[in-house]
Amino acid sequence: MKKEIVMNRLQTLMLSMALAASCAAFRSVADESKDQGAEPKVIDPGPSGGRPSDAINLFDGTDLSKWRGDKENSEAKWEVKEGVATVNGKGSILTKEEFGDCQLHVEWAAPAEVKGQGQGRGNSGVYLQGRYEVQVLDCFQNKTYANGMTGALYSKFAPLVNACRKPGEWQSYDIIFHAPKPAPDGKGAVPGSLTVLFNGVLIQDHVPVTGSTTAAKFGGAVEKGPLMLQDHGNPVRYRNIWLRPL
C-alpha cells in the first residue's frame, strides 16, 4: 500500500514538472514572438472593390496622365470617356512609373457587340513589367487554345477554370506578381511567380514566371519595369486600375 502511495506521488510530481516545463516553453515562445518584427502598418482597405489607402492610383477614370504611348516619350492616346479608357487602335499604353513585385487590380470589359471568334474576339492583355502577359480575351462561349484563354499566363499556363462573364460586362483581375530576378552570377534569372483571381475566382495558383511571354515589348529579367495594356485592335475597355508595390 505504501509502495502504491509513493508511486502515485512520484507520478504526480513528474506530471507537475512536465506541465511546468511546457508552460515555461510556451511563455518563452510567446515572449520571443512579441519581439519579432515591427507592428504592421495600419491602412484603410477602402470600400468593397475600391482602392486601398496605400495603393498607387494608375487610372481612376479621370485621365491617362500616368501613362505613355507605345513609343518612348509619346502620349497615351486611348479614348477616356465617362470614367473608362478604351483601346482605339493607337497603340499599347505603358505606365510612366516602373514596378517590381506588386499586387495589381485591373477591371476590363470586352465589347458588348460580339465580333470575331477565338483570339479575334475582345483581345487585349495586361503585361507585368511589359514582359509577362495575363491574357485579356472574351472567352464567354468562345473557344480558343487553352494557354491563350482569358487569364492565361500567355503561352505558358492555362487558367484553372473559365470564369468569364458575358460580353460587355465588367470583369476584374487581382494579381499577385513576384518578378523574376537577375541571377546573382549574372547568368539567367531566378524565377518569379504569378497568382491571379479572375472575378474573385483563383485561376493561376502561384505559377512560375520565367521568360517573357509571346509578343512582349521587352525581354530579360529586371528589378522594375512598366505595366503595359495591349492594343490588339479590339475596343476593350478599362477602369479602376491600382497597384500596391510589395
Are residues 193 and 210 in contact, defined by beta-carbon separation less than 8 angstroms? no
Same-domain pairing of 5 and 80: no
Full residue range of the structural domain in which residue 68 is found: 56-245
Same-domain pairing of 29 and 126: no
Q: How far is CA 6 from the centre of its chain?
A: 65
Residue 27 has pLDDT above 90, yes or no: no
The share of the chain scoring above pLDDT 90, in percent, equals 79
CA distance 122 to 111: 6
Contacts with 41 (C-beta within 8 Å, 6 or more apart), sequence order: 54
Query: How high is the pLDDT of residue 41?
Result: 92
Same-domain pairing of 33 and 66: no
Same-domain pairing of 9 and 82: no
Nearest to 137 by CA among 154, 147, 149: 149
Q: Which of 10-19, 51-60, 69-78 is predicted least confidently?
A: 10-19
Query: How high is the pLDDT of residue 72?
Result: 86
Contacts with 241 (C-beta within 8 Å, 6 or more apart), sequence order: 58, 59, 104, 105, 106, 107
Number of domains in the chain: 2
Q: Is the whole model's pTM more than 0.95, yes or no?
A: no
Looking at residues 176-181, what average pLDDT do you find? 97
Q: pLDDT band at 49, cuts 50/70/90?
A: confident
Residue 22 has pLDDT above 90, yes or no: no
Query: How high is the pLDDT of residue 196?
Result: 98
Query: How high is the pLDDT of residue 2?
Result: 52
Same-domain pairing of 84 and 25: no
Are residues 90 and 70 in contact, defined by beta-carbon separation less than 8 angstroms? no
The share of the chain scoring above pLDDT 70, in percent, equals 86
Query: How high is the pLDDT of residue 6?
Result: 43
Residue 82 has pLDDT above 50, yes or no: yes
